[in-house]
Amino acid sequence: MTDSSIEAISPKAVAAALSRVRAQRPLVQCITNDVVQEITANVLLAAGMSPAMVPAPEEAAAFAQFAADALLCNVGTPSEENSRGMKLAAATMSEAGKPWTLDPVGAGGTAWRDDLISDLIDLRPTVIRGNGSEILACAGFAHQYKGVDSLDSSRSALDAAKALAQRSGGIVCVSGETDYATDGTRVLAAVGGNVMATLVVGTGCSLSALTAGFAAKAEDPLVATIACCQFVKRAAEIAGNASRGPGSFHDAYLDALYTLQPENFLEEAV
């Protein structure tokens, strides 16, 4: 794939997507991993959304049907119980025509996890967001891990992302030094960020939650997905410049998500 076939997201598109999210304040139901519950909720609140941690299979589908505007399914610490909750909620969202995002953490790691991810992909997520290795694994391509950390660049996973988008019928987003989103044909990119984000647990997982919220009531989920990525990369840049290390980055990142306004991106378009 040539660079000329990759489109950069426009500042105006980012501003429009952020304006819509701030006006709608979508309620994002999160069935996520045990390690990242707090940062996920805090990131959603800081960005102007409402989090709801509702994983129990006894209520996950009902909440998805009657309350949630969007859903995140993150398989970082899967169990029989939360995997049932994910499947029930995801099926409900798909049937209701509401958006949901799958974060296939550790795809390719074990057969049980891969079976769960495959079952969730069959439920037609609106967005699949992962790192390079996860997207390669989901698409059946060769991949490399160190634990759950990707050893494959986002750029190297673009062909896999397009193939996975065509299989799933949704958007596939690959995060890395540059973030890419594709519907199987078009490819949009978001640039920027700060390496400090890789030293704070949950920044990637919480990006998936934000992606779910940005997709809520979006006319174009592809644009909404990459606009979310650009918003987060801009926040990470601001936080990185203001921080001395991972601890101060965590706090500065939440502050940046809160203080960034649509007009900050419109200024770039002038």
Q: Is 4 annotated as a binding residue?
A: no
Pairing of strands 70-74, 27-31: parallel
Examine residue 40 and state whether it is found in any structural domain, yes or no.
yes
What does the pLDDT read at residue 51?
Answer: 98
Examine residue 249 and state whether it is found in any structural domain, yes or no.
yes
Examine residue 14 and state whether it is found in any structural domain, yes or no.
yes
pLDDT digits (tens, 9 = 90+) for 61-70: 999 999 999 9
What total of structural domains would you count in the chain? 1
Specify the pTM. 0.94
What mean pLDDT, rounded, does the chain reach?
A: 94
Examine residue 1 and state whether it is found in any structural domain, yes or no.
no
Tell whether the model's pLDDT for residue 151 goes beyond 80: no
What does the pLDDT read at residue 84?
Answer: 98
Tell whether the model's pLDDT for residue 269 goes beyond 70: no
One-letter amino acid at 183 equals D
- pLDDT band of residue 267 (cuts 50, 70, 90) is confident
Examine residue 85 and state whether it is found in any structural domain, yes or no.
yes
What does the pLDDT read at residue 4?
Answer: 62
pLDDT digits (tens, 9 = 90+) for 63-121: 999 999 999 999 999 999 999 999 999 999 999 999 999 999 999 989 999 999 999 99
What does the pLDDT read at residue 143?
Answer: 61
Tell whether the model's pLDDT for residue 144 goes beyond 90: no
CATH number of the domain where residue 50 is located: 3.40.1190.20
Tell whether the model's pLDDT for residue 146 goes beyond 90: no
Examine residue 52 and state whether it is found in any structural domain, yes or no.
yes
Domain that holds residue 19: 6-269
More confident of the two residues 266 and 19? 19
DSSP characters for 54-99?
Answer: ---TTTHHHHHHHT-SEEEEE-SS--HHHHHHHHHHHHHHHHHT--
Q: Is 175 annotated as a binding residue?
A: yes
What does the pLDDT read at residue 268?
Answer: 72
What does the pLDDT read at residue 142?
Answer: 72
Examine residue 261 and state whether it is found in any structural domain, yes or no.
yes
Examine residue 234 and state whether it is found in any structural domain, yes or no.
yes
Sheet holding 171-175, edge to edge: 6-8, 187-190, 179-182, 171-175, 127-131, 100-103, 70-74, 27-31, 50-53
Q: What is the mean pLDDT of residues 5-17?
A: 95
pLDDT digits (tens, 9 = 90+) for 161-207: 999 999 999 999 999 999 999 999 999 999 999 999 999 999 999 99
Tell whether the model's pLDDT for residue 122 goes beyond 60: yes
Name the DSSP class of 13: H
